[in-house]
Amino acid sequence: DAGITQSPRHKVTETGTPVTLRCHQTENHRYMYWYRQDPGHGLRLIHYSYGVKDTDKGEVSDGYSVSRSKTEDFLLTLESATSSQTSVYFCAISESPRGGNQPQHFGDGTRLSIL
């Protein structure tokens, strides 16, 4: 396994509350990513990071923010959760593509339910 820990693994919360999901890696990889996975949509990129304090938006970034203050941690925050953000969230990591592209490796996900 790739040394990626996501926490919490499951969370149930109410609409309007803030939620923070954590991704921790022990591989010292440069790139980290947050995805959401929903039936009928597959994996969609929310935000990604290409280094400490360096982040950028993905395909479905509205309603989400991220922070990366250390190489090993990448946080995803829902400032005010909505029911449409009920999903399974996956973190992924990859090395720098110095010698060509590198695969992304995934954590086991956080199942988030917003009531």
Residue whose token pair is 């803030």: 18
- Near other proteins in 58-87, by CB under 8 A: 58
Query: Contact region for other proteins (CB under 8 A) — 16-24, 34-42, 61-69, 70-78?
Result: 34-42
d(CA 36, CA 112): 10
In three-state secondary structure terms, 66 is: strand
| Alpha carbon distance 54, 114 (integer Å) | 29
Return d(Cα 88, Cα 109) in angstroms, integer: 6
Part in contact with other proteins (CB under 8 A); list of ranges 12-20, 38-46, 67-75, 76-84:
38-46
- Which positions touch other proteins (CB under 8 A)? 4, 31, 33, 37, 39-40, 42-43, 45, 48, 50, 56, 58, 88, 90, 92, 94, 96-97, 100-109, 111
